[in-house]
Amino acid sequence: MDWQTKRVLVTGGAGFIGSHLSAILLELGADVTVLDDCSAGDSSKVPKAANFIEGCITDSATLTSALHGVDTVFHLAAIASVPLCESDPVWSDKVNLQASREIISQANCPVVFASSAAIYGEPVEIPIAETHPISPVGNYGHQKAEIDANICSLDSQSTPACALRFFNVYGAGQDPSSQYSGVLSIFIDRASRGQQITIFGDGEQTRDFIHVSDVVQALLKTGSSLLKSGTASPAHATSFNICTGNPVTLNEVVSVLSSHMGGEISVAYEKSREGDIKHSSGDSTKLQSTFDWKPETSLENGLSSLLS
């Protein structure tokens, strides 16, 4: 894909994944516009070469203006905090559900939607493939699941769109103090400051950690295909897991961190939290067999780059 002739809108482009994606798109020559209200993102993370609209996707006038003339949309903006979605369901519904519907209906171009592994709920089989039952727990998972399902039900006359179901994304630029941050950024921050790490449960729970660079490549692959082929693209009206398929326990994460930091890390084990999923491991075979994509960054190398 020659991105040099393309105008791209990245909603949530001041956030962790969005800022990485925007930077790569700019390197590829795209004309990038970022739309973000910075309620969770950081305006300083928006690449200077991007056009920045500080506004909310729930504002129809702002959204209409941002969508005007763009060639593709990467829709990453969301309230990703599960506690916030539970404490303010009306607002999270407006952001995660209603605004997402409006983007898909208004866009006259391909849309790549950031879905989530949260739509699966408690796994009934491991690894989790896209055919796994959809049984989300909580407002966030339900809202993501509804947009995901809407996209998968689109026909050949609709907006070209696909849904990418992100598992545990990590990498440089995650704010460990944010309620949106992942467990790895919190672990690294506390360990690097000599502070104790808290693990809820016995540490044998598994997670599928995927590096943000691999996530960006998945976004670009699917976005390129939708741009080239429209609704004839194999990405249209479908969903893909974005994961490594190589789950690790939290105890193994601590062990890797300890080896890189040259010393034992203090760990406190507390009672498991209600609603926490014990095991999560994805299957990305569908994406790998459809496009020239595979996860390139191992957890060992990913953590090493964050600690160097």
Which residues, including other chains, have CB under 8 Å from residue 79's CB and lie 6 or more apart? 40, 85, 91, 92, 95, 96, 140
Q: Say if residue 250's pLDDT is above 70.
A: yes
Helices (H) and strands (E) counted in the chain, each on its own, are 11, 13
Q: Tell me the average pLDDT of the chain.
A: 94
In percent, the amount of the chain with pLDDT more than 70 equals 99
What per-residue confidence (pLDDT) applies to 178?
Answer: 66
Give 73-86 pLDDT, tens digit per residue: 999 999 998 889 99
Tokens of 296: 């390139």
Ordered structural domains, the chain, with CATH: 3-169+210-242 (3.40.50.720), 171-207+245-281+297-307 (3.90.25.10)
What per-residue confidence (pLDDT) applies to 275?
Answer: 73
Virtual torsion, Cα 64, 81, 307, 36, nearest 10 deg? 20
Contact 1, 227 (CB under 8 A): yes
Give 84-121 pLDDT, tens digit per residue: 999 999 999 999 999 999 999 999 999 999 999 999 99
Contact 53, 66 (CB under 8 A): yes
pLDDT, average across residues 59-83 = 96
- Residue 190 and residue 296: Cα distance in Å, rounded? 27
Q: Say if residue 25's pLDDT is above 80.
A: yes
- Rounded to the nearest 5 degrees, what angle is found at the Cα of 293, between the Cα atoms of 291 and 294? 140
Tokens of 96: 């995660």
- Residue 224 and residue 229: Cα distance in Å, rounded? 9
pLDDT, average across residues 129-146 = 96
pLDDT, average across residues 277-291 = 95
User: In the chain, which ranges are continuous DSSP H helix?
Assistant: 16-27, 60-67, 82-87, 89-92, 99-106, 138-152, 183-192, 212-229, 250-261, 285-290, 299-307
Tokens of 169: 């994304």
Give 173-210 pLDDT, tens digit per residue: 988 876 556 889 999 999 989 999 999 999 999 999 99
In percent, the amount of the chain with pLDDT more than 90 equals 86
Which residues, including other chains, have CB under 8 Å from residue 275's CB and lie 6 or more apart? 137, 138
pLDDT, average across residues 58-84 = 96
What is the chain's percent helix, strand, coil content, to nearest 5? 40, 20, 40
What per-residue confidence (pLDDT) applies to 135?
Answer: 96
What per-residue confidence (pLDDT) applies to 75?
Answer: 98
CB atoms near residue 226 (< 10 Å): 24
What per-residue confidence (pLDDT) applies to 307?
Answer: 86
Tokens of 261: 């930091």
Q: Say if residue 308's pLDDT is above 80.
A: no
**Count of residues in the chain:** 308
* pTM, to two decimals: 0.96
